[in-house]
Copies of this chain bind each other. A is one copy, B any other.
Amino acid sequence: MVVVMKPGTTDEQIRNLVVWLKEQGVEPDISKGTNITIIGLVGDVSKIDTELLEALDTVESVKRVSEPFKAANRKFHPENTVIELKDGTKIGNGNFVVIAGPCSVENEEQIIFIAEQVKKSGAKILRGGAFKPRTSPYSFQGMGKEGILLLLEAKKATGLPIITELMDISTLDLFEDVDIIQIGARNMQNYELLKELGHCRKPILLKRGFANTIEEWLMSAEYILSSGNRNVILCERGIRTYESYTRNTFDLSSIPLIHKLSHLPVIADPSHATGHADLVAPVALGATAAGTDGLMIEVHNEPSKAKCDGAQSITPDAFDVLMTKVKRIREAIL
């Protein structure tokens, strides 16, 4: 962190600041030029409150030099994190996985049928919404507990590990046999929830908030990691822009950026990113070519009858075609 002092700051004022900074546990490094005095802060600056420093009368500006995240930072953890599920499925560090399934679990027949289909095409993990965050209180909110039970049936029938979204910590008990807990975009900064998840050891798939920066996303991962749970998978699902043809704007650069900044695996969700079935395949292929560690794809046997997000679901057949291309892209970038 670099603190630029205001012109005319006295030596005493600088000494006072230095004393205060040392109390915060950092080592100030004064650089007094002829015209400009700069204090470089070395050590653990993560506890320094930038805004507080900036509010001081003697401070012109404060510039962060290093990233505010530590546990998620590749600098301090150069090795790629690998998440291993109970059945041995691995994610990250070259282990590429495809998660597929319907937006919402609707009934036993549907979820088992789709699970079998996507497994056949190469999906490694089954997704399905049981608790659904919906903008409108009048929309279908998911089957809840029953949805999770049906997912477990599909897991039993196909052997596929399952992932489903947790919206509230009070329902955590229901997720005991769920293999990966998904935290949705709207809850990316629900810090109380993140802290609680830091206390378990279950893999967490943390979706990027629809209007959050990559840094904020990693800081939210930091909430889970710093509470003790190292099993975090990131998921880019598009961000909100003024473009209206697509539901969100898929931020392709986030894939290589996460790999550069962090050791955590990052997967891509082209279904929520685009909101349109016919854009899912090109965005999935693009994300794969850019190095994503996996994909999460909405698949529905009858998209036009899906209880939610039908417009962005692809059929099992389209999924099968996509998987073939994904494999070819994976080989092309080796």
Give Cα A285–Cα B332 distance, bound, in whole angstroms: 10
Question: Which of A32-71 touch B at CB < 8 Å?
Answer: 32-36, 38, 40, 42, 46-47, 49, 51-52, 54-57, 60-61, 63, 65, 68
Interface flag for A140 (CB, 8 Å): yes
Interface flag for A306 (CB, 8 Å): yes
Interface flag for A319 (CB, 8 Å): no
Main secondary structure of the interface of A (DSSP, over half): mixed
Given the known interface contacts A189-B186, A256-B279, A289-B288, the answer about A42 and B33 at a Cβ–Cβ threshold of 8 Å is yes
- Decide: B65 and A4 in contact? CB cutoff 8 A: yes
Q: How large is the interface on A (under 10, 10 to 19, 20 to 34, 35 or more residues)?
A: 35 or more
B29, B60, B256, B329: which contacts A332 (Cβ < 8 A)?
Answer: B329
Min distance, Cβ A100 to any Cβ of chain B, angstroms: 18
Given the known interface contacts A138-B47, A283-B256, A289-B329, the answer about A57 and B304 at a Cβ–Cβ threshold of 8 Å is yes
Interface flag for A94 (CB, 8 Å): no
Given the known interface contacts A134-B191, A136-B222, the answer about A213 and B244 at a Cβ–Cβ threshold of 8 Å is yes
* Of A84-92, A118-126, A247-255, the one with at least 4 CB within 8 A of chain B: A247-255
Interface flag for A10 (CB, 8 Å): no
Binding site for B on A (CB under 8 A): 2, 4, 27, 29-36, 38, 40, 42, 46-47, 49, 51-52, 54-57, 60-61, 63, 65, 68, 133-140, 167-170, 186-187, 189-193, 195, 209-211, 213-216, 219, 222-223, 226-227, 239-246, 249-257, 260-261, 273-274, 277-279, 282-283, 285-291, 303-313, 325, 328-329, 331-333
| A-B residue pairs, 5 tightest by C-beta | A31-B31, A211-B211, A29-B33, A289-B289, A286-B290
